[in-house]
Amino acid sequence: MHVYLPIAEMSVSVLVFLGLGAAVGFLSGLFGVGGGFLLTPLLIFLGIPPAVAVGTGAAHIVASSVSGAFTQYQRNNVDVKMGIVMLAGGLIGTYIGVEVVRLLRKAGQFDIAVSLLYVTFLGVIGTLMLIESLNAWRHANSGKVASSRRSGQHNWVDGLPLKMRFTRSKLYISAIPPAVIGMFIGFLAAIMGIGGGFVMIPAMIYLLRMPTAVVVGTSLFQIVFVAAFAVLLQAIQNRTVDMVLAMLLVTGGVLGAQFGAMAGERLRGEHMRILLAVLVLIVAMRIAFDLVVTPSELFTFSGRQ
């Protein structure tokens, strides 16, 4: 069974994209991270134009994050004030990112730019994750407890101006670092079609020193609104959000996430992080291979970016 994607301007198999959504949902449930950084490259591998893959990936993030954010809010795991500060920066970063997408598409360079971003970003993140997870595994096997951070780290944050009191996180810090983090995540959401949780969560823990209990909920709170803003701008300015494709992916993702969560309960934390790091590196290498391999048709021109 096939369906026509009006924005991507192509006919696709319903089962293939339902399966893709289920696979990404499974991985999200298994590893506890958003699947945007995997979904967008996989969509591109299957022939979806990169600009549409980025815009539709942001729509998928909104749908997949709403329920999680609502659940965390009910459990009082959301620092709303911190989330609003990060959201303010995120909206600015998203607007800048959408403008960059528009300019790159106009110049005909968006495809190569997004591929280079993914190779660089996933390569660095995957390598760091693999090193950290292997160290954690080695410490666990030796019976030692790995220290996540040393006392006194990031003291420079305490000296910044515009300090605010964040009651839920029990912090009194400058609003500048969370706003900058939010801006960076908003930029990533717009130009790469990802939620950025696997960047935001470590930054909130190690840089802002937020309690772990409220990190995930606050991250989801910010991501929902930033991704929704990115979808709105991408749809209005760039017309790259294919809702038919998004519905297929979300439907499969909801089912896959349930099975992924159940499977994740059987794996140790360090084993899960090693598997995730390897997966991230495989995706990065696959994109890098596409950048250097000689295309089958050397002189094909496509006016659609």
In the 3-class helix/strand/coil scheme, how is 216-258 assigned residue by residue?
Answer: HHHHHHHHHHHHHHHHHHHHHHHCCCCHHHHHHHHHHHHHHHH
Q: Which two tokens stand for residue 115?
A: 């591929």
Q: Among 15-24, 214-223, 261-270, which is the least confidently predicted range?
A: 261-270
What percent of the chain is modeled with pLDDT above 90?
9
Q: What pLDDT score was predicted for residue 118?
A: 83
How many CB atoms neighbour CB 239 within 10 A? 12
**pLDDT tier at 110 (50, 70, 90 boundaries)?**
confident
Q: What pLDDT score was predicted for residue 158?
A: 65
Q: What is the mean pLDDT of residues 229-254?
A: 87
**pLDDT tier at 303 (50, 70, 90 boundaries)?**
very low
Q: What pLDDT score was predicted for residue 81?
A: 92
* pLDDT tens for each residue of 140-186: 777 655 444 444 444 566 667 888 888 888 888 888 999 999 999 88
**Does pLDDT of 188 surpass 90?**
no
Does the CA dihedral 269-271-274-276 come out positive or negative?
Answer: negative
**Does pLDDT of 93 surpass 90?**
yes
* pLDDT tens for each residue of 122-139: 888 788 878 877 887 787
Q: Which amino acid is at 72?
A: Q
Pairing of strands 10-13, 2-5: antiparallel
